[in-house]
Structure 1
Amino acid sequence: MVRMLMDHYIFSEMEQVKERTLTFFLDEWFQLTPLSDTTSICERSKMLSIDIKVPRVIAIMHVHNMRKESSAPNESVEEFGRTIHNIFQMVLRTIDRANNDICVSTGNDMIFLINTPRIANALAKLTKIKAQIESKYFVSIFTGLSPVVKDFREVGSYYRYAQVATRVARESGRGFTLYDDLSIELLLSNVQPQIKQDYLSKVFDHCTDAEIREWTNLLSVYFQCNGSISATADQLYMHKNTLQYKLNGIHSKTGYDPRNRSDSVILYLAVHILLANSTIALS
């Protein structure tokens, strides 16, 4: 029995050393630029049996403690720390190390470098991991993915892309966000919540919460249909005259006409903020 405990302790220590070594390696790798001397990183990668020259997708998976938003008994910091550790150990058993995939844990985040030339392959792996975690633990998983890294010297830049995508995923409540899919989110990602709130207050001044909710749904469909009255009416199962009446109502109440190009930009931005930020109050 004592021998078994000793063997388990030694194995656990070795695993921790391996994880720290890998984390230090990634820290160094993320500091590279296209002008960096790559001699050291190439030598270390060989020692760790990591092929740094294959195409990879970088993903950051954030683990959010759902107990904070529920009536379930809250976990202490130490208890949630153990939960994070158990999740990470489960992920390590799941990822394809034979495929040269890499995963390290830092705080509430897990950083993946998945060996693949296609985003779809990485997304499929991460979707499976997300489902396994959320089926076993009372957490929500938010993940951001970088584009495919083709030059190992640019991995640091792509890691930052993954960070931006993860932040957008967390703020919008999306399970997955691809950096390549970001457009206006990229513009808004560094805007303070109070500034967004002030913008909404200006656009929807004197509007009720019910009106804002109805108009947000209507305008999101309207913008998806590129301003087509017929297509929007069909999507909303609404007569075209009724739709025009509602658009007139938005114009009358806010002062912005969705059918006017410059006004539509203002309304589009407001709708996007509301849809992407569920924590922002309507009024």
Structure 2
Amino acid sequence: MYLRKDTAAKIIQEISMILDYDINIMDEKGAILASTNPDRVGMFHEGAFRIIRHGLRELAVYEDGQYQGCRRGINLPIFLNDRIIGVIGITGEVSEVMKYGKVLKKMTEILLMDLFSYQKKSQQEQVRLIFVNEWINTQPFAFSPDFKESLAEYGLPIESSYAVCLVTPASVLEDAEDLKERSFLHARNGETGIVICAVSSADQAEAFIKKAARNSGADEFLCAIGGMQKDYTGVRHSYRQAQKLMALKRGKKGCFFYEDSVAELILNDVDAEYKELLSRQLLSQLTRQERQEFADFMEVYIRCNGSVNAIAKELFVHKNTVQYKINKIVRKTGRDPRVLKDAFVLAMTAQWMQRN
């Protein structure tokens, strides 16, 4: 790793808040990359060059100009992975700044290690996202020749069933690496996390997402789990199923399965013209507020299978209030949710309203 200007500038910014001395960071060629004195940036620093060239443990400069481009102070090598990658210098009387040298050197190396680890992790995540994007967007016959080798590198089996999960916010997967789960490959694409799961059931995929959420401290999230596919060639199909399900469940929280939501998805795909026509026929007698109340009530009604007792319990109202709401729907829409064919039409209309 070589020191970059932006990295050196970040370190100078952090350290300058602690020490009231001019500080310089030089690269492996002896050039000043960053300094609390902007006029010195870009200058050649012979002291740093000598440290790097001869492997010196430190170099004190007792007079300005003793070495080309140098001022009084102490200069020390910066190590990363047992290799000198630069030099840090403190300007001032050697007897005064010497006591800060080792502490400053150690702080710089710790900051560099943190930045290096972050950059390395970011690079790995980017490479992983490129591979995942190829997998979910490419027809199997168009996979690159080394695709199966990449699968093996990520520890994913060829002979396994697969499913794809989409999760938002993507921060749910922030610490998923720590789980050490070899059957799951995850990547972040903006605010959406993508997880490719080599599992035998969708329940295992759900368990992984919930475990990752607990690990990251996420309390609320939306996860859409595509249908199970017989092998890795079906990942693209499962991904598209998860996309449809994610759009359908937008605004909700929890884990949802494509294979449990087929009826909702079919209804959601009905032509917009038909939806508008049916809504106009049914809801013309309802005010805006009544329409929202209708949609909310029908969602509970269907979930409780029309049980008045169950509906009353969930809504925290008396059974008579539930009967009143049902009768109001009959009066205002001409359809009775207690009649199966009417309940189907009313439920469809309520769902479309919730989506818009």
Q: Do the structures match in fold with TM over 0.5? A: yes
Letter in 2 for 1:108: E
Taking CA–CA contacts closer than 8 Å with sequence separation of 6 or more, which of the two structures ends up with the larger relative contact order? Answer: 1
Name the structure where helix makes up a greater proportion of residues. Answer: 1
CA deviations over 1:14-43 (Å, ceiling 9, x no partner) = 222222221222222224445556743113
Within 2, Cα distance between the matches of 1:249 and 1:156? 46
Within 1, Cα distance between the matches of 2:173 and 2:348? 41
Within 2, Cα distance between the matches of 1:127 and 1:192? 35
Any conservation in 2 of the 1:33–1:154 contact (CA below 8 Å)?
no
Q: Tell me the residue number matched to 2:157.
A: 51
> 1:215 deviation in Å?
4.8
- Tell which deviates more after alignment, 7-16 or 189-198: 189-198
2:341 corresponds to 1:265: no
Letter in 1 for 2:233: R
- Report how many residues are paired: 244
2:225 corresponds to 1:141: no
- Root-mean-square deviation (Å): 3.7
Structure 2 counterpart of 1:162, from 236, 242, 258? 242
Within 2, Cα distance between the matches of 1:246 and 1:167? 30
2:127 corresponds to 1:21: yes
Within 2, Cα distance between the matches of 1:222 and 1:92? 38
Any conservation in 2 of the 1:147–1:180 contact (CA below 8 Å)?
yes
Q: Tell me the residue number matched to 1:68.
A: none
Which sections of structure 2, spanning at least 5 residues, go unmatched? 1-105, 313-317
CA deviations over 1:81-139 (Å, ceiling 9, x no partner) = xxx6xx37732344333x23211111101111233212222212212333454558xxx
Structure 1 counterpart of 2:286, from 207, 217, 228? 207
> 1:213 deviation in Å?
5.8
Q: How does 1:2-21 map to 2 (within 5 A)?
A: 2-21=108-127
Q: Tell me the residue number matched to 2:195.
A: 112
> 1:144 deviation in Å?
0.6
CA deviations over 1:224-274 (Å, ceiling 9, x no partner) = 5766xxxx34434647xx94x765543332122435555443212123334
Q: Which one has a bigger Cα radius of gyration?
A: 2
Q: Tell me the residue number matched to 2:261.
A: 182
Within 1, Cα distance between the matches of 2:233 and 2:336? 48
How many percent of aligned residue pairs carry the same amino acid?
A: 20
Which sections of structure 1, spanning at least 5 residues, go unmatched? 64-83
Any conservation in 2 of the 1:60–1:112 contact (CA below 8 Å)?
yes
SS at match of 2:114: helix
- Tell which deviates more after alignment, 200-209 or 29-38: 29-38
Within 1, Cα distance between the matches of 2:136 and 2:274? 32
SS at match of 2:194: strand
Relative distance call for 1:188 and 1:91 in structure 2 (3 A) is farther
- Tell which deviates more after alignment, 200-209 or 102-111: 200-209
Relative distance call for 1:51 and 1:254 in structure 2 (3 A) is same
Relative distance call for 1:32 and 1:219 in structure 2 (3 A) is closer
SS at match of 2:250: helix
